[in-house]
């Protein structure tokens, strides 16, 4: 089955302790989220899976941001997530290769307004494995949209993180209704030679 591994928002502003909206940074480090994500990425490359890194970023004047979004209005107020800044660079420890695809997004979902749908179609992807920050926002919304686009959706539970354990646990529970929630090791073991 043609598979894509999609990482979501593993950027400095969100994941680094000095990031501007890094509520989950200490949990990312404590729970080895980047290490687990890298294990998934390396496994994916050995099986010729498509690897996509998606990150949220805006122009300096935030022209792409909706004035109706409390989430993005807060980002604008604190001057975060500017494309080309340190804040929107991928976190240093993330295993990125020149063969990977990098996509900018302007909304919470990895699909909304990005080239991801065309990329999935052109590579004939059927199965998507998601990981990222935060579980209850970008991972959950991307998973829901992937489900409604008829992909088989996996969520790597130990390669996702949130600002609190409760938020992560609740989101992963809801996601079992539309996808398969497993650890990285469980995904690798159950995928065989996919």
Domain boundaries, the chain: 3-191
Mean pLDDT across the chain, nearest whole number? 96
Q: What is the Cα 118 distance to its own chain's centre?
A: 18
For 123-135, what is the mean pLDDT? 98
For 95-109, what is the mean pLDDT? 97
For 81-85, what is the mean pLDDT? 97
pTM of this structure? 0.96
Work out the pLDDT band at 191, boundaries 50, 70, 90: confident
Instruction: Express as a percent the part of the chain with pLDDT over 70.
Output: 98
Helix ranges (DSSP H) in the chain: 12-15, 25-30, 33-46, 70-77, 116-122, 140-148, 165-175, 184-191
Instruction: Express as a percent the part of the chain with pLDDT over 90.
Output: 97
The pLDDT value recorded for residue 192 is: 67
84: three-class secondary structure by DSSP: coil
Token pair in block for residue 151 = 């992909």
Q: Which of 120, 132, 127, 117 is nearest to 171 (CA)?
A: 132
193, pLDDT greater than 80: no
The pLDDT value recorded for residue 23 is: 95
Cα–Cα distance measured from residue 194 to residue 190, given in angstroms and rounded to the nearest whole number: 9
Write out pLDDT tens, residues 41-63: 999 999 999 999 999 999 999 99
CB 6 within 8 A of CB 139: no
Write out pLDDT tens, residues 140-187: 999 999 999 999 999 999 999 999 999 999 999 999 999 999 999 999
Q: Which CATH number fits domain 3-191: 3.40.50.850, 3.65.10.10, 3.40.50.1580, 3.30.70.260?
A: 3.40.50.850
62: three-class secondary structure by DSSP: coil
97, pLDDT greater than 80: yes
The pLDDT value recorded for residue 91 is: 98
For 27-35, what is the mean pLDDT? 98
User: Can you count the helices (H) and strands (E) in the chain?
Assistant: 8, 6
């Amino acid at each position: 089955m043609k598979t894509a591994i999609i990482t979501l928002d593993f950027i400095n502003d969100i994941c680094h302790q000095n990031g501007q909206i890094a509520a989950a940074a200490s949990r990312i480090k404590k729970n080895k989220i980047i290490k687990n994500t890298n294990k998934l990425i390396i496994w994916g490359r050995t099986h010729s899976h498509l690897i996509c890194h998606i990150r949220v970023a805006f122009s300096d004047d935030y022209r792409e941001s909706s004035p109706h979004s409390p989430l993005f209005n807060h980002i604008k107020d604190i001057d975060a997530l500017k494309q080309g800044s340190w804040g929107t660079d991928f976190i240093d420890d993330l295993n990125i290769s020149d063969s990977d695809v990098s996509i900018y997004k302007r909304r919470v979902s990895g699909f909304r307004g990005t080239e991801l749908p065309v990329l999935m179609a052109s590579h004939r992807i059927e199965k998507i494995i998601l990981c990222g920050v935060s579980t209850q926002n970008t991972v959950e919304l991307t998973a829901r949209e992937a489900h409604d686009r008829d992909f088989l959706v996996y969520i790597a539970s130990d390669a996702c993180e949130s600002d609190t354990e409760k938020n992560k646990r609740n989101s992963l529970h809801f996601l079992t209704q539309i996808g398969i929630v497993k650890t990285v090791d469980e995904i690798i073991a159950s995928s065989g030679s996919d």
